[in-house]
Every structure is written in C-alpha cells, then in structure tokens.
Amino acid sequence: AMAMEPPKIHRLEPSVVNRIAAGEVIQRPTSSVKELVENSLDAGSTSISVVVKDGGLKLIQVSDNGHGIRFEDLPILCERHTTSKLSAYEDLQSIKSMGFRGEALASMTFVGHVTVTTITEGQMHGYRVSYRDGVMEHEPRPCAAVKGTQIMVENLFYNMTARRKTLQSSNDDYTKIVDLISRFAIHNVDVSFSCRKHGMNRADVHTSGSCSRLDAIRSVYGLAVARDLMEITASDDDPSRSIFNMNGFISNANYIAKKTTMVLYINDRLVECTALKRAIEIIYAATLPKASKPFIYMSIILPSEHVDVNVHPTKREVSLLNQENIVESMQGAIESKLMSSNTTRMFQTQT
C-alpha cells in the first residue's frame, strides 16, 4: 500500500487558541465564580454578593465594594496576561493575592459576554463597558455606581456547544456555587457574603462580615453542624521538621454525616489536599465509635517557600514541602483532641 501523505502543519488562529485556553481556565460556571470572588477579595472588599441564573449559564454577577478599577486600565482589563498583582517572576514567592496571572477575566470574555461596572474612590460617577474576545466592545460609558466593582458574565460557553449541553443537563452548578461561597464565607469572616438565585429575595448563603468563625459556620452550615464542633489549634516551630501554624474547627463524637466536609486553607488559599483528608478520615474512623465522616475547617499557615502557588488555575490540589510531616502532625493534633473530648464525655456521664 502507498504510504499516507503527511498532513500539512499550520498555525492555529489566535481566536481558536484563545477559546481553547479559556475553556481550560473556565471549566464550568463555578470556576468563573471562584475567579470573580477572588478578584473581589484581592480588591480589599468587605462585602461580596453573588447572583446566579440558570446555574451560571445565563448569568453570573459578582458585586463588591473594593477599590475599583482605574478608568485608564479599562482598555486592557480583559486582555490576556494583564494584571496589577505581579511584575517579576520572583514576586511569586511572596505573593499574597489570590490572582496573579491575569488570565481569568480574559478567559471569560472568550467564552462568554462580560460587562464591568466600576467606580474608584473620589469619582463622581462610574463606568460601564462590555468585552468580547479580550477587547472592549465600545468606549466605557459613564454611569451611576456605588463603591466598588460589579462584573457580569452572561451566556457562558455560548460558543462551546458541547460544553453548554453537558452543563445544561447536569444542572447542579448552583449547588456547587453555594458550596464554594460557603467555603469562602467561613474563612473570610470579615467579609459579608451573599449568594442567591436571580429573582429570589432569599440568599442561600449569607454572612454578616462581623462575627466569629463559629458564628459564620453556624449561619452557613447550620446550627446542627456548629453545635458539634470543637476548636483546634496546633503549631510546630522546630525548624528541623516543618514550621506550621494550624487553627480550625473539627466535629466531635456527636456529629453524624455520610460525607466528609473538608474546608482547607493553606496560607489563606482555598485548596484541596487528598492525602490530608484521607489521613484525617482514618483518625476519625479509628478514634470514634460511630463511623461518622468528619466536618473539618482547617487553616494552615506555612512559610511561603514551602508552598508552590504557581500551579494551573484549576488545580486546587496542593503539594507541600514536608507534606508527610505536616499530615502526621495534623493527625496527631486531631487524635489527641478527639481522645480528650471523648474522655471528658465519659467522665461527665459517669458522675
């Protein structure tokens, strides 16, 4: 048989490249909400509200009272790789903001319709402008605005038929969005969060922005959860091992659930660490008589050089330097907390 002709190699159109890349950064409506809320937090907001229509496919709207966006920056706001947060690669080591790669807003404009309304301190009025494929659709228009920024993403994945179909039929992104905002709300207790469906008065997540961690957990996850939590702290400053500081809330022996809830922050970033989650589940199974899965809120502070933040935007799974040591220390702290609370309970029932 004749050998097959080699196919011609050509360069992809930038619009194709951008749409493919954007579809990776913004995988589903939840990814978009995460990026927008992180931007609001980076902007120093103390109030963030999220409105969602059709699981985020029709509309995602995030409003904040942060520092706003400068008028001069609006033309490049949604271009790829434009950011106010990072300049030199070395800055990554010590970066405190959640964002830094300047990809999120751009990505949303390649797979949806983005409208930004923003006002900065001391301005008489704000500006509103819509974006498509990284660029402004028109000059920014003056408009009335309250302090901060509101970003609207409409018709997400309008140009990705297969993705839209899959998401439409699954229809559970609103649940995922509520779960995400819940996780943000119980960590950032100085920020008032709300999350609701478009057209609904009632918010499905609501925090006041001025309450204790336990109060925030109570208003987000309910009384039944908050009632069965214990505060936990642990630290290790022996430099020959690994330096860390941990505080959190973990469920006690009375708590009953079929699924583990693990809200994990490392250096104030919401992350996932499967190894740590499994290790904690093992301790619970071994220590408590009832085979309940735990509720864990845990915030761990590590030296920034022990955490690599330069991972793909969607990869929430972290790996840490000295991970085994840290997992072991957390297991130890949780085990002794569970043991001591169990003993207290026994003594109480005996007397």
* Sites of contact with ligand ADP (CB under 6 A): 35, 39-40, 43, 64, 66-69, 77, 83-85, 99-106, 149
- From Mg ion, ligand ADP, none, interface partner of 64 (C-beta below 5 to 8 A by class): ligand ADP
Least distance from ligand ADP to the Cβ atom of residue 175, Å: 24
191, with CB counted inside 10 A (0-12, 13-18, 19+), is buried
Residue closer to ligand ADP by CB (options 99, 112) is: 99
Category of 105 on φ-ψ map: left (φ > 0), alpha (ψ -120 to 50) or beta: alpha
Least distance from Mg ion to the Cβ atom of residue 212, Å: 29
- From ligand ADP, Mg ion, none, interface partner of 54 (C-beta below 5 to 8 A by class): none
- By CB under 5 A, name the one of 29, 66, 68, 99 that touches Mg ion: 99
Estimate to the nearest angstrom the gap between the alpha carbon of 73 and the chain centroid.
25
Work out the angle at residue 109's Cα, subtended by the Cα atoms of residues 85 and 160, and round it to the nearest 5 degrees.
135
CA distance 343 to 332: 17
Work out the angle at residue 314's Cα, subtended by the Cα atoms of residues 334 and 11, and round it to the nearest 5 degrees.
160
Is residue 179 classed as helix, strand or coil in its secondary structure? helix
- By CB under 5 A, name the one of 26, 50, 52, 104 that touches Mg ion: 104
- From ligand ADP, Mg ion, none, interface partner of 61 (C-beta below 5 to 8 A by class): none
Least distance from Mg ion to the Cβ atom of residue 104, Å: 4
288 binds Mg ion (CB under 5 A): no
Least distance from ligand ADP to the Cβ atom of residue 50, Å: 12
Nearest to ligand ADP by Cβ — which residue? 99
Least distance from ligand ADP to the Cβ atom of residue 120, Å: 9
- From Mg ion, ligand ADP, none, interface partner of 152 (C-beta below 5 to 8 A by class): none
Q: Are strands 47-53 and 192-197 parallel, antiparallel or unpaired?
A: parallel
59 Cβ contact list (under 8 Å, min separation 6): 51, 52, 53, 152, 153, 154, 198
305 Cβ contact list (under 8 Å, min separation 6): 93, 321
Least distance from ligand ADP to the Cβ atom of residue 33, Å: 12
Residues of the shown chain interacting with Mg ion in the complex, contacts defined by CB under 5 A: 39, 99, 104
